[in-house]
Structure 1
Amino acid sequence: MLSTRAFNHCVMRIYRTTRGICGRDKIGNRDVVGYGLNGTYMYSDLEMCPFPAIRFRENTPELLALREKERGDWRRLCLDEKKILYRASFCQTFTEMDGPSSEWKSILGLTLVGISAAMWLWIYCHIFVYKDAPITFSEEYRGALYWRLKGIMHQPITGIYKPPFADKYKPETMPDDW
């Protein structure tokens, strides 16, 4: 489920946004060699769809001459010519697609920037926003509030919480039955 969502979010949104606008006039001087992922004329290196719809590089006179030579006996092609032909059709090999990337550096960098921004926001809030605690947080006020609630018979059945310091702030004029 999660991998499907990740695939739809990261890969498929490209094809959804470009499906109607990738015609033959948009691909330049490239050969259409297959159907591709969704039948759109675009290049993408994906393991699940290893044959893109168009070639990676545009046709040049040197490349067209190599393609004519390719139609003959492949033993007459040297290794460099085979590599040039491969790189004209594909951007990456499967090993390069599977290989480690340096994406972790940008992820780590952005994570550290986010943590740094959060810490600076926390420092700003503690300096300029959270000046002093309200008076209702003081011991004296909370003790007086307890005795006031007790005096008006607030929650007579279940009772109310008595702070440990409430006796210190007990009023002088209290009935004896409290």
Structure 2
Amino acid sequence: GKMPPYTSYHAQRTYPMPDEPFCTELNAEQRALKEKEKGSWTQLSHAEKVALYRLQFHETFAEMNRRSNEWKTVMGCVFFFFGFTALLIWWQRVYVFPEKPITLTDEWKAQQLQRILDMKGNPVQGLASRWDYEKKEWKK
């Protein structure tokens, strides 16, 4: 049977018994099954009982309570945006941002440290206080 459009059928876990059956427009086979339903249920097969249930209800409780697969879509979108963001950051570093200044190179930093030590900068508590000027190495 096919569910007619604009029906008032509404079933959910909190209200599992809707006022109307799921299928109201029945074909000849389904009408014959509904007539057979009026007799003894011991004469009905399991498949016929399931078919009658499906005429009355859209889902079983197990189907209503099963978990959704929406989390896969959410996680896929999250990873897609992480990847897109990483590509955007890489593109900016390669094509947008200027080169790093020379003052951030290791050679420059080593020369700057040597200059501070040569000038004996902050000899009481700073870098110069931790440098041994006679052995030319850091104090232990």
TM-score range, shorter chain: 0.5 to 0.7
Quote the residue 1:82 is aligned against: 49
Quote the residue 2:92 is aligned against: 125
Letter in 1 for 2:86: M
Tell me if the contact between 1:47 and 1:94 (Cα under 8 Å) persists in the aligned partners: yes
Aligned pair count reads 102
RMSD: 3.2
> Where in structure 2 are there 5+ consecutive unaligned residues?
104-115, 117-140
Quote the residue 2:37 is aligned against: 70
Cα separation, 1, equivalents of 2:91 and 2:43: 71
Please tell me whether Structure 1 or Structure 2 has the larger radius of gyration of its CA atoms. 2
Q: 1:44 to 1:127 in 2, by over 3 A?
A: farther
Quote the residue 2:15 is aligned against: 49
Letter in 2 for 1:127: V
Deviation of 1:66 (Å): 0.7
Q: What SS is found at the alignment partner of 2:67?
A: coil
Tell me if the contact between 1:45 and 1:52 (Cα under 8 Å) persists in the aligned partners: yes
Percent identical: 31
Cα separation, 1, equivalents of 2:59 and 2:33: 20
Tell me if the contact between 1:43 and 1:55 (Cα under 8 Å) persists in the aligned partners: yes
- Write out per-residue CA displacement over residues 85-109 of structure 1, whole angstroms, 9 at most, x where no aligned residue: 1122223211122223433322222
Quote the residue 2:132 is aligned against: none
Higher RCO, 1 vs 2 (CA within 8 Å, ≥6 residues apart): 2
Letter in 1 for 2:92: C
Quote the residue 1:168 is aligned against: none
Using the size of structure 1 for normalisation, the TM-score is: 0.45
> Where in structure 1 are there 5+ consecutive unaligned residues?
1-25, 29-39, 139-164, 166-178
- Write out per-residue CA displacement over residues 97-156 of structure 1, whole angstroms, 9 at most, x where no aligned residue: 2223433322222221121112112222222332357x9xx8xxxxxxxxxxxxxxxxxx
Cα separation, 2, equivalents of 1:110 and 1:53: 39
Tell me if the contact between 1:41 and 1:53 (Cα under 8 Å) persists in the aligned partners: no
Cα separation, 1, equivalents of 2:27 and 2:37: 15
Q: 1:113 to 1:63 in 2, by over 3 A?
A: same
Quote the residue 1:91 is aligned against: 58
